[in-house]
A and B are shown apart, each in its own frame.
Chain A
Amino acid sequence: MIKRFANLRVLVVDDMSAMRAAIKVQLSEMEIVNVEQAGNADDAIRMLETRGEYDAIFCDYNLNKATSGQQFLEFIKSQELLPPNTIFIMVTAEAEYGSVVSAAEFQPDDYLLKPFTASKIKSRLERLIDRRDALQMLTQRLAKKDYAGAVAESDKLIKANSKWIMEALRRKGEALLQTGRHEEAIAAYQAALAMRGDLGWAQLGLARGHFAAGRLDEARAIANDILERNGAYVLVYDLLAEIAEDLGDFDTALDCLRQSLMVVPSARRNRIVAEAAYRMGNLEVARTSFEQAIRKTKGSITAQATDCLFLAQIHVDSGDLNSAFKALEAGVGEFGDKGVFAQVQASIKAQAYIRQNDPANARKMLARAGNLIPEPGGNLATVFMARALLAAGEEQEGMRLLDVAVHGASASRSIRGLAKKMRRDAAEPRKVELNGVA
């Protein structure tokens, strides 16, 4: 048993050095000596990027005012910095546990409530490692996006009626939804619900299955049912927003997302609201939400270049060209004029120069954007390039790029939505102009 722990690599993230030291002592009692420490989220993220894979991360929920343990988890999961086999354990105080758990959009593998003893850590780690090992094949398939393989691995666990059956059903449902096999996904979630009718994740999966199959009313009814029992389940708001957006009911969509932001006031949620507001043509909400995201992440490693880019585009759309250039300048200061930032920046500047009646500079920027984008696809750079071309009157090429973006293999829902918005705007240029003036 002890050998099992001795080789583990552990990262402890806590702003209080006394707490880090205490956990380190407790781990050393289990012969775990390979323990590294980070005093804040930024350091921890750098360590994840540079120091290789950890077996387990113990992270305190209260990191500091800027970033909570939950936001740290959100960030490393959404940026794919958390290897699928790393066990993430959130350490919380007894008193805050209830609110922490109910609003958790990204679930850690486990929670550890303070105060805990060395034997508590040991028994938890033992179970978590058992779980990790039992699910290893399934985890690997999902990480490689081998969904058919993941379904097969899930079925093995389900058929064996193992104690991991619920996790197997959950992941099977996800894999099936990813590959468009909605009816089979629905069956997997129904199998889970047959065992226990009020499992939130299974009901959400069921609703997603109905949504994917085009049964919007059924999806919405189930989603509302979940919220009635747990109003803090933020992923349900996301689904309701997607349903409303598909129906063209943008007010309701935005309203759902703003409710989710009230539950989880994170920069990530600000971005979700902001991007949706922009797609739906609500420039005011989009601007303030991106500004909030920028303010919340300023100077932190969680800051994202796309926030500045969107903000600049919104300023261009509103006709406030000075603010647009300023937002881009701030972005260069923080992220450097390189990568996606450079690609998109050129497209936005081109539009700004067109609005300023400066065709020479506009052409220069268009050429620069064209040179920087290696190959058009389902990504942000392509959508913004298309936008710039449309603004320059190159309608055919602009529309072609939007098509490429919508159908690109890597296009996310939000990229597709954004490209569609650009297409709508292009079809009704006068309306854009009016929005801009307002």
Chain B
Amino acid sequence: MDEKLTAVVVHDMKNALGVLEDQLAILCQSNPEVAASHALCTSLRQKLIGFLTLYKGEMTARISDVCPEDFLSEVRDLVFLPPDAPEIGIVISPDTPVIWFFDERLVQLALEAAIQNALRFARSRITLGARREGGFLVLSVRDDGPGLGTLEETPSTGLGTELCRTIAWAHVREGVKGHVSLANAAEGGALFEIWLP
């Protein structure tokens, strides 16, 4: 399929989803049963934006100074959760710097993808974290699910993983590249981390 046409179609769908998402948000206020549809719509829009970001070609990180604590609260506030969804908590390690330098928009996309993934496995809680590790700011998403290697009912496309990896790599500081990791957390559950130089 023609690349330009693909881009136009995907953009159109994304914008339409945005409108739908807003309408569902309004409906949610009077009818809680719509919440699941709203959450689905949000995740679809995020996936499409992730897809567009990934396939647009070379990714440039536009770094600016960001307060990690504020950033994580905003990311959390923007996740729409239906009533029975897991809770999302934030743990800021005391060594976390007041500001760090990264592309807020891109890293938000990465964390959204990781959170969407965690939502599929978490039992009751997802924890967002920030800490400093050497020359890196490490942002993490941990769930309290069964951990890695679980058979999924609806297998993921791998889009989220690739998006996160590409976003981490786009962050370079004095020759040092960012990276991501996915492992089982010591406390149980799966742990996603994005390391930003």
Contact = CB atoms under 8 A, between A and B. Distances in A.
**A and B pair up:** yes
B98 A165 contact: yes
Interface string A182-198: 00000000000001111
Contacts, number: 72
Interface residues of A, number: 31
Interface in B1-47: 7, 11, 14-15, 17-19, 21-22, 25-26, 45
Contacts of B26: 29
Contacts of B18: 114-117
A393 interface: no
Contacts of A127: 70, 74
B82 to A, nearest CB: 15
A100 to B, nearest CB: 11
Given A94-B52, A115-B17, A166-B99, A196 B22 contact: no
Interface stretch (B57-65, B125-133, B150-158, B180-188): B57-65
Contacts of B25: 117-119
Contact of B99 (A22, A26, A114, A163): A163
Given A98-B60, A115-B14, A163 B173 contact: no
Given A95-B11, A117-B21, A123 B99 contact: no
A29 B22 CA distance: 11
Nearest to B8: A95
A161 interface: yes
A95 B22 contact: no
A285 interface: no
B101 A123 contact: no
A101 interface: yes
Nearest to A165: B99
A198 B14 CA distance: 34
B174 interface: yes
Contact of A101 (B14, B62, B74, B173): B62
B67 interface: yes
Contacts of A167: 65
Contacts of A123: 74, 77-78
A115 B45 contact: yes
B49, B77, B99, B174 — most chain A CB neighbours (10 Å): B99
A195 B22 CA distance: 40
Most buried by B among A95, A97, A120, A199: A95
A113 interface: yes
Contacts of A117: 18, 21-22, 25, 78
A356 interface: no
Contacts of A120: 78
Contacts of B60: 98
B98 A161 contact: yes
A377 B28 CA distance: 64
Q: Which of A115, A127, A195 has the most CB of B within 10 A?
A: A115
Nearest to B105: A113
A119 B77 contact: yes
A34 interface: no
B61 to A, nearest CB: 11
Nearest to B15: A115
Nearest to A115: B18
Interface in B139-197: 173-174
Nearest to B38: A117
A198 B18 CA distance: 35
Contacts of A7: none
B46 to A, nearest CB: 11
A94 B80 CA distance: 21
A162 B17 contact: no
Interface string B104-130: 010000000000000000000000000
A126 B45 CA distance: 23
B22 A197 contact: no
Contact of A94 (B11, B17, B63): B11
Nearest to B52: A94
A119 B174 CA distance: 36
A94 B74 contact: no
30 contacts: A26-B22, A93-B11, A94-B11, A94-B52, A95-B11, A97-B105, A101-B62, A102-B62, A113-B105, A115-B14, A115-B15, A115-B18, A115-B19, A115-B45, A117-B18, A117-B21, A117-B78, A118-B22, A118-B25, A119-B77, A120-B78, A123-B74, A123-B78, A162-B98, A163-B99, A166-B99, A167-B65, A196-B101, A196-B173, A197-B173
Given A26-B22, A199-B101, 18 more contacts: A22-B19, A29-B26, A94-B49, A114-B18, A115-B45, A116-B18, A117-B18, A118-B22, A119-B80, A123-B77, A161-B98, A162-B98, A163-B98, A163-B99, A195-B101, A196-B65, A196-B101, A197-B173
- Lowest 9 CB-CB distances: which A-B pairs, in order? A115-B18, A166-B65, A163-B67, A196-B101, A123-B74, A163-B98, A123-B77, A115-B15, A163-B99
